[in-house]
Amino acid sequence: MGVVTAALGILLIVYPLATGLLTTVFLGTTLIVVGVLGVLLALSSHTVGSFFGHILLAALYGLAGIVFLVFPLQSVASLTLVLGAMLVVRGIFAIVTAMRVRPVEGWGWLLTDGLFGAAAGMLVLVNWPASTVWAMGTLVGASVLVTGISRIVVASRIHGGVDRLTPRTA
C-alpha cells in the first residue's frame, strides 16, 4: 500500500494542474451533495427559523459546488490563494509553538516545519496566480508521496520488529 501511495504521489506531482482540477471537481461535487443533504435536513426542521437557516446554508454549499464545477480553473486559482495563506498562517503558528516549547528536545523540528511551511506559503502567494498551475497539485502530490514513504518505513519497522520477536526453533 505504501508503494502504491508513493507512486500515486509522484503521479500527482508530475501532473500538478490535472491534480488541482481533479481536486476542484471532487470538492465541487462534495459541496453539491452536502447542499442536497442540507435541503433534506431543512425539511425535517421543527421551526421556521431553523428551516430557513438550513435552506440558506444548503444553498450556499450547492452554489459553491456548482461554481467549482462550472469554473474549475478559476476555482483552482481561488483554492491556491487560500492554500498559500493557510500555509503561511500554519507556519507562523508552528514557529510560535516551537519558540514556546524551546527547551524541549526536538523543538528544532517544529521550528523547521514552521519555517518551511511559511516559506512554501509565501512562494505560492508571491507567484499567484501563476502558482495556480503547479501549487495545488505539487503540494497535494508531495503530501501523498510523504504518506506513502512513511507507510513504507513504518511497515518495514513493524516487519523488522516482528522478526526479532518471533521465537526461532532449532
* 130-168 pLDDT per residue, tens: 888 888 888 878 877 877 887 888 778 777 665 555 565
Tens digit of each residue's pLDDT (9 = 90 or more) over 53-63: 999 999 999 99
> Residue ranges of the domains in the chain?
2-165
pLDDT at site 54? 92
Based on its alpha-carbon atoms, the radius of gyration of the chain, rounded to whole angstroms, reads 22
CA atoms within 13 A on the CB side of 23: 25
C-alpha cell at 71: 469554473
What pLDDT, on the 0 to 100 scale, is given for residue 148? 82
Please classify residue 20 by burial: count the beta carbons closer than 10 Å to its beta carbon, then call 0-12 exposed, 13-18 middle and 19+ buried. buried
CB of 135 closer than 8 Å to CB of 88:
no
Looking at the chain, list the stretches that DSSP marks H as alpha helix, in order from N- to C-terminal side: 2-14, 16-43, 48-70, 72-100, 107-126, 135-165
- pTM of the predicted protein model: 0.66
Predicted pLDDT at 38? 94
pLDDT of residue 70: 96
Which residues, given as ranges, of the chain have pLDDT below 50?
Answer: none
